[in-house]
Structure 1
Amino acid sequence: QTAPAVRVALGEEFGFAPGTNVEGKMVAALRRLGFDKVFDNNFSADLTIIEEGNELINRIQNGGKLPLITSCSPGWIKYCEHNYHDFIENLSSCKSPQQMFGAIAKSYYPTKADVDPRKVFVVSVMPCTAKKYEADREEMSVDGLKDIDAVITTRELAKMIRQAGIKFEELEDSKQDSILGTYSGAGTIFGNTGGVM
């Protein structure tokens, strides 16, 4: 899975103007590197938004802890856990889009694709190194099966592309695969101010 930020940051590593959307070339490069399926995590961002909205409504209607504090940044969550113990109960219980996608990839997708979930290896390409920590959290697995198996950053992906001798700028665009369906614009801007709720 790839985060929306990766498609506009990766191009700079290969001489494209900052902010250029190189999604098609990125997908083609990932396929050349050997990935069987390439998904973005926009749909899982939509799921996170829906779940957080439901959690907020539930807290309001049932007298839950308010305000609801939400962040898809594992660095910020860890900071709160270590420095603001009084707010831990305010944190949303929803998984981030990365982890939401991993849960779907290890449960729904294997049923749809008729594969053993233990043979599904999920790699996330994310803009932040803290996502590596998030994927390794104990609560991000079910019955010993991790939601996310590996996380690489945008720069690490660029390094892999170079090491494989792939001429990124010459790649023909390729489309991402779809795990569940169409995503909303809110999924794309999830990480921006106003993107969550």
Structure 2
Amino acid sequence: ADLTIMEEGTEFLTRLRKKFSLGEDTRLPMFTSCSPGWVQYMEFFHHELLGNLSTCKSPQQMFGAVAKTYFAKKLGKRPDDIFVVSVMPCTAKKFEATRPEMTASGTRDVDAVLTTRELARMIRVAGIDFSSLPDEQMDAPLGLSSGAGDIFGHTGGVMEAA
């Protein structure tokens, strides 16, 4: 979510600068494009406002793109060698991952999406008892995060994070 906020913030500031400093015609207000359900709603019912949507990918899709470009290169792998699975509470994320524009380096950003309910069922069926698992340190492949990602999915969280 941190990467998405940085990109959306930059895009928003660019739009403001174009409008108020350069006098250029630009689309305001800018709406977040993080929710595939929201994006599809706009496509179906408010086509005239599509230019107001941020051009940024959602955190799910940005992570997939980074995994298949930056990390693939860092590991000496091809993007197709990396299989990205996303775990999300929203079923619309499954649809988002299959959109044709959600590709980087000629391959899908995210290969599979599990809902949190599906993952919970898989864990239960496998007989995994979380309370008996040893504690582990969280990895941070991109370094420290701001913590803004924690509020990202809540009402007003995108604006708060920005």
Fold equivalence (TM over 0.5): yes
Tell me if structure 2 keeps the 8 A contact 1:161–1:168: no
Residue number in structure 1 paired with 2:82: 120
Are 2:128 and 1:172 equivalent residues in the alignment? no
62, 85, 90: which one aligns with 2:52: 90
Distance in 2 (alpha carbons) for counterparts of 1:46 and 1:195: 12
1:170 positional shift:
1.6
Are 2:7 and 1:51 equivalent residues in the alignment? yes
Distance in 2 (alpha carbons) for counterparts of 1:175 and 1:125: 19
Distance in 1 (alpha carbons) for counterparts of 2:59 and 2:78: 23
Select between 114-123 and 90-99 the one with higher mean Cα deviation.
114-123
Tell me if structure 1 keeps the 8 A contact 2:69–2:105: no
Structure-1-length-normalised TM-score: 0.73
Distance in 2 (alpha carbons) for counterparts of 1:126 and 1:70: 18
Gaps of 5+ in 1: 1-44
Are 2:97 and 1:135 equivalent residues in the alignment? yes
Q: AA paired with 1:58? A: T
Are the structure 2 counterparts of residues 46 and 93 from structure 1 closer, same or farther at C-alpha, using a change threshold of 3 Å? same
Distance in 1 (alpha carbons) for counterparts of 2:135 and 2:113: 23
1:132 positional shift:
0.3
Distance in 1 (alpha carbons) for counterparts of 2:122 and 2:135: 18
Query: What CA deviation, in whole Å up to 9, does each residue of 1:84-139 have, x standing for no partner?
Result: 11111100100000001011000011122222221100000001111000000000
Tell me if structure 1 keeps the 8 A contact 2:33–2:55: no
Residue number in structure 1 paired with 2:143: 181
Q: Which consecutive aligned stretches of 4+ in structure 1 deviate over 6 angstroms post-superposition?
A: none
1:162 positional shift:
1.8
Tell me if structure 1 keeps the 8 A contact 2:33–2:57: no
Query: What CA deviation, in whole Å up to 9, does each residue of 1:119-164 have, x standing for no partner?
Result: 1000000011110000000000135300000000111111111222
The within-5 A match list for 1:141-160 is 141-160=103-122
Distance in 1 (alpha carbons) for counterparts of 2:47 and 2:131: 48
Gaps of 5+ in 2: 20-25
Structure-2-length-normalised TM-score: 0.88
Tell me if structure 2 keeps the 8 A contact 1:127–1:153: yes
Q: AA paired with 1:160? A: M
1:165 positional shift:
2.2
Distance in 2 (alpha carbons) for counterparts of 1:178 and 1:185: 13
Question: Identical aligned pairs, as a percentage?
Answer: 60
18, 29, 35: which one aligns with 1:67: 29
154, 158, 162: which one aligns with 1:192: 154
Query: What CA deviation, in whole Å up to 9, does each residue of 1:147-197 have, x standing for no partner?
Result: 000000111111111222222232122233222111012122111233212
